[in-house]
Chain A
């Protein structure tokens, strides 16, 4: 299963090799050509040179995670965060280190040794370490190095009724949507861009967009769903099972009204459920792309995911399929063609 395989690959920001190699093998033959740019973005294209607007789809390959910052004389590994990660989700989680996938466990001072004040607070990152079962620094140094990426060891799979759980769904679900969309035939050039380092500041998308110079960009994301008992209606933002979420505004972009309207029209015309993303927090690759060169009209469609930026998140497979359908309907229906200069 494409989504399961993508979820179980490890690729923290700046160390996306595993994901990129997998995708290169997976998309071979499905596109006219593809290449990896100098920052590591994987750029595939269908119909290059055809008349009509250059359309760019993006999904980021990277995930939030940790990096080995040092090895203690005891053989325990000091770690730092890569991307926005809440230290409260880390304690006691199994992890995998580096390409060799050395298993480890995130450890912390046991409750018996914690001062009273410490017990009331979340343990900060500098109070956490990764235990790989080494007896000392020398022993640990045989299998890990400073700078090695650390990813959550989470098995992905089907879950509940029509749900799917796994790590890094932000944004491997977007990568999966892009791969599925490669079956489309279009009469305009269509770029599939798998970006790097989104979680550190939309870095890959910025340079990829400069190189491609597209007329339109659509970013496919995994966004947070707050449909939980303690959330009030206006704090929920997106809900599982209600269809892909269309962004009106977030911290990185105000989507042009005509693009929001075109996506909504595509959903209505094909009876594909959709929802509007109801909070304005967060940012996506579309923010960086939209400000590239003379500006690129850009929009965002997201698959709602509960518990993103943690070792395991949950999405609805119906939302996933509907996202593929919505983007396809939007592109095939030509809703945007008249909208592009």
Chain B
């Protein structure tokens, strides 16, 4: 599992530019599903037959990043955020554009720290003129922050753990599931970080009976952290509510019941900010009962998002349990 997470987090695929990560996931799962397709927006949908209910699992494969908006005469790049990116996370960091070009972040001289916004920052790709910069990068080019995968033992840290760890959970569940009892639509979605966009269109096409996003959530277990009941290493988190969704009561109850039956460590999660693909899925067509299986993650939207592998294992077991439990679409 550690190797898979490292492999996926090493890939740069910001929102709207999911080609590399999609190809890597496709390679991982192609032997483990009955059908595989890529839809109009670029979502990768793996189908596995099992009867029962149509369940859409969604793990977004995009990551937050930057887009080049302007190149000045000296060859410095100005940029805008793709998804929720804090300027304070960037100084000293490096960026990799989708074509492989590397750059480092810089900051204008500021009178006061409170003036520190993305507009005051730039990317230095080592060019000495506009012409030289334009040979490597064009306006409109997308990039992602890079950071080495850190193996801390039972815990690991990497960039884009949000949501490559969710992708890894879904991939592993697809490999492990022995006898699916539902029709499974494992969807690796695009553009979640810019507004749950891939989930919205894929759910329209799939028309699922049940929607379950697999994504990261925050924790409240670090020094002077904002109060939150979720902690690292305490099991998979079962979502009750976030800004995009109130988990359907029966979906939440199903997840809790399965976790208890299979003795999977779990915790209930109430997230006061943020949302997931289930926020879009549950409002599709006439409505889709939806919930979320979350992996507790520290330092979300930073270059070093930290998780506990035992929580990941619990998440995989819970996803497999849902896949192997016959669900009645009429009784959700």
Contact = CB atoms under 8 A, between A and B. Distances in A.
Q: Do A and B bind each other?
A: yes
A291 B284 CA distance: 11
B150 interface: no
Contact of B40 (A233, A254, A278, A295): A295
Interface of B: 15-17, 39-41, 67, 69-70, 72, 78, 80-82, 119, 139-140, 191, 194, 197, 200-202, 204-205
24 contacts: A233-B70, A233-B78, A234-B69, A234-B70, A248-B67, A248-B140, A249-B67, A249-B80, A276-B139, A276-B140, A278-B70, A279-B69, A280-B67, A290-B41, A290-B197, A294-B39, A294-B40, A294-B202, A294-B204, A295-B39, A295-B204, A296-B40, A297-B40, A341-B40
A265 interface: no
Contact of A234 (B40, B41, B72, B140): B72
Nearest to A248: B140
A167 B41 CA distance: 36
A254 B82 CA distance: 9
A278 B16 CA distance: 17
Given A279-B69, A294-B39, A297-B40, A248 B139 contact: yes
Nearest to B140: A248
Q: Across chains A and B, which 4 residue pairs bring their CB atoms closest together, nearest first?
A: A254-B16, A295-B201, A234-B78, A248-B140
Interface in A20-55: none
Given A276-B140, A293-B204, A249 B82 contact: yes
Given A249-B16, A280-B80, A295-B201, A260 B69 contact: no
Which interface class (under 10, 10 to 19, 20 to 34, 35 or more) fits A? 20 to 34
A77 B80 CA distance: 42
A295 B72 CA distance: 36
B72 A260 contact: no
Interface string A283-297: 000000011111111
A235 interface: yes
Nearest to A296: B40
Interface in A102-147: none
Contacts of B201: 291-295
A233, A279, A291, most chain B CB atoms within 10 A: A291
B70 A295 contact: no
Contacts of B197: 290-291
A278 B200 contact: no
Contacts of B191: 254
Interface string A232-267: 011110000000000011000010110010000000
Most chain B beta-carbon contacts within 10 A, residue among A256, A295, A296 = A295
Contacts of B69: 234, 278-280
Given A234-B119, A260-B140, A280-B67, 15 more contacts: A233-B70, A233-B72, A233-B78, A234-B72, A254-B15, A279-B69, A280-B81, A290-B41, A291-B197, A293-B204, A294-B205, A295-B39, A295-B40, A295-B41, A295-B201
B148 to A, nearest CB: 28
A39 B125 CA distance: 49
A292 B78 CA distance: 32
Contacts of A248: 67, 139-140
B22 to A, nearest CB: 14
Contacts of A254: 15-16, 82, 191, 194
A256 B205 CA distance: 20
B139 A278 contact: yes
Nearest to B194: A254
A290 B39 CA distance: 13
A251 to B, nearest CB: 8
Q: Which of A248, A296, A341 has the most CB of B within 10 A?
A: A248
Q: Which of B67, B70, B72, B81 has the most CB of A within 10 A?
A: B70
A228 to B, nearest CB: 15
A175 to B, nearest CB: 27
A151 B263 CA distance: 65
Contacts of B78: 233-234
A278 B204 CA distance: 32
Contacts of B200: 291
Contacts of B72: 233-234
B61 to A, nearest CB: 14
A65 to B, nearest CB: 28
A235 B119 contact: yes
Contacts of A249: 16, 67, 80, 82, 140
A277 to B, nearest CB: 9
B163 to A, nearest CB: 17
A291 B81 CA distance: 21
Contacts of A278: 69-70, 139
* Interface hub of B15, B41, B82, B202 (most chain A Cβ within 10 A): B41
A236 B191 CA distance: 27
B224 to A, nearest CB: 33
Contacts of A293: 201, 204-205
Contacts of A341: 40
B279 to A, nearest CB: 13
Contacts of A291: 197, 200-201
Contacts of A256: 16
A249 B16 CA distance: 9
A5 B21 CA distance: 50
A28 to B, nearest CB: 35
Contacts of A279: 69, 80
